[in-house]
């Protein structure tokens, strides 16, 4: 059975309110949770960006849910520090934590003052980070000289069973590449044909473990309200790579998205007041074989979405 998770968006919601939302998500029947890990939002209207790793400790303690996080090691985060963060959470909450690793976005990584590398270099750097993190979680002392440098690092507090390191991808080519090293795959909602090709590419290349999907959606009792919420909060997030990878600040995202048409937004967010349409979209994703689907309502008020979907959508997705 596909697990239905709640996606906690740090970029849009104060961390205290976000903690209350994930506690409520468990209470109303969501199966799991995951969160983002950004230094900045994609829009000044979103207005937040709490530190994911502090929040995850609180969220794991406050609930019994399993949690994932999408992280980009290599520039803003040294891989040894990410290995320590992963290892500590997995040791404290065995079997309840996984981390997805990706090559990152300039909006978060430029803060170090280092140059933002081209995509092939970022992928190579990520691959080195994965090897460093795995070795540290396995208890090895690690020294490494490459795109990242590590000197005699060792983790002293580790989980008995290392958690899954999942590959983050939005393209078929990246999904195929993730199969070389990942314990699973995560992507975001897209046309079903594209999602099917991604899953097939990952599996055909030998990819193991669960496949996860993050679904951006906007729901409200009235269609105009659902559209207004999506347009206010998520029109800055419609740009395909490499644009979304390379813009540096929320101001940049706001400037380039000032004239985004609603039709373009509807290509990346499932927008409807009709709960039946949301059920239909989600049933298509379930039929593709995703093991976990994380629902991200792009509004800042999560309680109406959580209550309504728990009551009228989740039951239709379960046998």
H helices of 39-170, where? 52-62, 79-92, 106-109, 119-137
* Residue 107: closest CA among 6, 253, 235: 253
C-alpha 5/C-alpha 30 separation (Å) is: 6
Cβ atoms within 10 Å, residue 260:
16
3-class DSSP state of 77: coil
Cβ 186 vs Cβ 36: under 8 Å: no
C-alpha 219/C-alpha 265 separation (Å) is: 14
Structure tokens at 262: 């609603």
C-alpha 84/C-alpha 190 separation (Å) is: 33
End-to-end CA distance of the chain: 8
* C-alpha angle 137-10-43 in degrees, rounded to nearest 5: 130
Residues 6+ apart with CB under 8 A from 205: 176, 179, 180
3-class DSSP state of 28: helix
Residues with a known catalytic role: 38, 105
C-alpha 243/C-alpha 55 separation (Å) is: 29
Calculate the CA dihedral of residues 168, 174, 180, 181 and round it to 10 degrees: -20
């Amino acid at each position: 059975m596909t697990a239905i998770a709640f996606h906690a968006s740090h970029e849009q919601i104060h961390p205290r309110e976000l903690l209350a939302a994930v506690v409520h998500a468990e209470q109303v029947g969501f199966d799991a949770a995951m969160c983002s890990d950004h230094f900045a939002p994609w829009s000044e209207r979103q207005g937040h960006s709490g530190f994911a790793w502090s929040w995850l400790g609180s969220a794991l303690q406050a609930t019994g849910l399993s949690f994932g996080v999408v992280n980009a090691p290599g520039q803003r985060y040294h891989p040894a520090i990410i290995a320590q963060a992963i290892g500590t959470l997995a040791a404290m909450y065995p079997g309840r934590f996984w981390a997805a690793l990706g090559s990152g976005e300039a909006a978060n990584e430029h803060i170090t003052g280092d140059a933002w590398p081209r995509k092939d270099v970022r992928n190579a750097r990520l691959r080195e980070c994965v090897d460093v993190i795995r070795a540290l979680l396995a208890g090895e002392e690690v020294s490494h000289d490459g795109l990242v440098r590590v000197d005699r690092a060792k983790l002293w507090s580790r989980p008995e069973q290392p958690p899954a390191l999942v590959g983050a991808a939005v393209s078929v080519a990246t999904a195929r590449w993730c199969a070389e090293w990942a314990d699973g795959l995560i992507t975001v909602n897209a046309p079903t044909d594209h999602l099917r090709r991604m899953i097939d590419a990952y599996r055909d290349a030998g990819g193991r473990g669960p496949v996860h999907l993050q679904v951006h959606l906007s729901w409200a009792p009235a269609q105009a309200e659902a559209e207004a919420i999506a347009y206010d909060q998520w029109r800055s997030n419609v740009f395909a790579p490499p644009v979304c990878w390379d813009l540096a600040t929320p101001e940049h995202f706001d400037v380039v998205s000032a004239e985004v048409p609603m039709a373009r937004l509807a290509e990346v967010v499932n927008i409807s007041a009709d709960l039946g349409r949301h059920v239909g979209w989600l049933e298509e994703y379930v039929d593709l074989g995703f093991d976990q689907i994380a629902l991200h309502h792009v509004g800042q008020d999560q309680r109406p979405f959580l209550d309504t979907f728990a009551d009228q959508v989740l039951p239709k997705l379960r046998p």
